[in-house]
Amino acid sequence: MTYPTPRAAVLTGIGSWLPPDELTNADLEARLDTTDEWIRSRTGIASRRRVSPGMSTSDLAVEAGGRALKSSGQDSVDAVVLATTTPDELCPATAPQVATRLGLPMVPAFDVSAVCAGFLYGLSVAAGLIATGAADRVLLIGAEAFTTLIDPDDRSTAAIFGDGAGAVVLRAGNPDEPGALGPVVLGSDGSRSDLAEVPAGGARRRVPTPEASPYLQMQGREIFRHAVRHMTAACRTATEAAGWQLADVDRLVAHQANIRIITSVADGLGIPPERRASNIERVGNTAGASVPVLLAEENASGGLVAGQRVLLTAFGGGLAWGAATLVWPSLASAQ
Ligand code: UT7
């Protein structure tokens, strides 16, 4: 039995926003047993942004979402999907509040929770909404106030994570037009959920105890190994599914977890340094916001130009990962 090709999700708007409060390596040096040299050489990070008191994920999402709508040239969509690990409240989802604040009341709006792979999972969800005809236009936002999950005294995580938001608008279109999302490859491995977890605050352990921290506990070295393996494999599968050779890839836009992870993945795929996009030095690891923030910044700076073949990939807690391809379209950059 064959079915007609579903309509594609086509990228038509993009935007990002970082909170103004900056946390430099020098700030961390002043407070923790760490050095600028250690952080730069082990992670590639020099600085990151963080929410200031009173600011939360929805505030970041509204800023980025508004810019993506403006870039798309239209102010309405049929659905809002928010990829986040840090909803404003445990209940309800944050997306409906974001939709309302963006002047999009009454549209379907919900959160997707896949930590650093959240934007890739969100792309798949948005593409599904469009393919089935449930929506003609979807606003997908990756927004994280991830530093709210970080113990400021834990040098192994405080040096890595930052906050921010990136957003895209996807519209119904043809699979062969620029901006059309290729097959999205996703995966997960719940047997290693312990490698990056926030033990307290959820349904199993509502209240923190000496044994159950309310902060992210991460086994960095183990995560590193899995990240390289799964992102490399997902990239191979996604390019193959799109009918591309790896040599066809003009820009690799990988989750900005650690410069050494990005280097290992790109080296393994044979993608040379000049084709690797990166903002980790300035932005740090912003979890589910990482890929859309990088896409928006590259689009604005001319690092991404129309016609380039772009490979996206992400990996993080869950474990969860993903990869996808698209030919970059011509997109306005909204400030
Ligand atoms: O976003 C998706 C999920 N997260 C990731 O993908 C993170 C992946 N992992 C990583 O990025 C790296 O594993 C880290 C950057 C987290 C750590 O780098 P590493 O090279 O794997 O170091 P390590 O965890 O094996 O630690 C080496 C040493 C340890 O000291 P001992 O036990 O050897 O004495 C750490 O205590 O480095 C120490 N260390 C630090 N030293 C100075 C850890 N953090 C710091 C720090 N400053 N900030």
Give the structural domain span for 137.
8-173
Atom 1, ligand 1: residue with shortest CA distance: 257
Maximum Cα–Cα distance across the chain: 65
Residues 123 and 236 in one domain: no
Nearest atom, ligand 1, residue 258 CA: 11
Q: Are residues 267 and 236 in the same domain?
A: yes
Q: Same domain, yes or no, for 128 and 145?
A: yes
Domain boundary residue among 173, 192, 224? 173
d(CA 132, CA 6): 7
Cis peptide before 92 (omega within 30 of 0): yes
Residues 188 and 308 in one domain: yes
**29 CB within 6 A, ligand 1:** no
Active site residue 235: no
Same domain flag for 82 and 13: yes
Average pLDDT taken over every residue of the chain:
97
Judge whether 168 and 133 are in contact, CB under 8 Å.
no
Residue 13: its pLDDT value, please? 98
Q: Is 265 in the pocket of ligand 1 (CB under 6 A)?
A: no
Spacing, Cα 72 to ligand 1 middle (Å): 40
Q: How far apart are CA 147 and CA 163, in angstroms?
A: 6
Same domain, 112 and 222: no
Q: Does residue 298 contact residue 306 with C-beta atoms inside 8 Å?
A: no
Q: Which residue has the tokens 């961390």?
A: 28
Regarding whether 208 and 295 lie in a shared domain, the answer is yes
Q: State which ligand 1 atom lies nearest to the alpha carbon of 196.
A: 3
What is the pLDDT, as a whole number, of residue 275? 98
Does residue 190 share a domain with residue 111? no
Q: Examine residue 140 and state whether it is found in any structural domain, yes or no.
A: yes
3 within domain boundaries = no
Q: 25, 230, 255, 299: which is the annotated catalytic residue?
A: 255
Q: Is 34 in the pocket of ligand 1 (CB under 6 A)?
A: yes
Do residue 159 and residue 206 come from a single domain? Answer: no
Domain presence at residue 107: yes
Q: Which domain-ending residue is among 113, 145, 173?
A: 173
Pairwise CA distance, residues 125 & 114, whole Å: 12
Q: Are 143 and 202 part of one and the same domain? A: no
Based on the domain organization, do 144 and 208 belong to the same domain?
Answer: no
Q: Is the CB of 42 under 6 A from ligand 1?
A: yes
Instruction: List, in sequence order, every residue forming a beta bridge with 169; answer none if it has no partner.
Output: 13, 139
Q: Are residues 152 and 32 in the same domain?
A: yes
Is 285 an active-site residue?
yes
What one-letter code names the amino acid at 140?
Answer: L
In this structure, which residue's CA is closest to atom 40 in ligand 1?
156
Closest ligand 1 atom, residue 285 Cα: 1
Report the CATH number that the domain containing residue 36 is assigned in CATH.
3.40.47.10
Residue of 156, 163, 217 to test ligand 1 pocket, by largest number of atoms within 8 Å of CB = 156
Q: Which of 138, 173, 208 is the last residue of a domain?
A: 173
Ranges of residues in the chain whose predicted pLDDT is under 70:
1-5
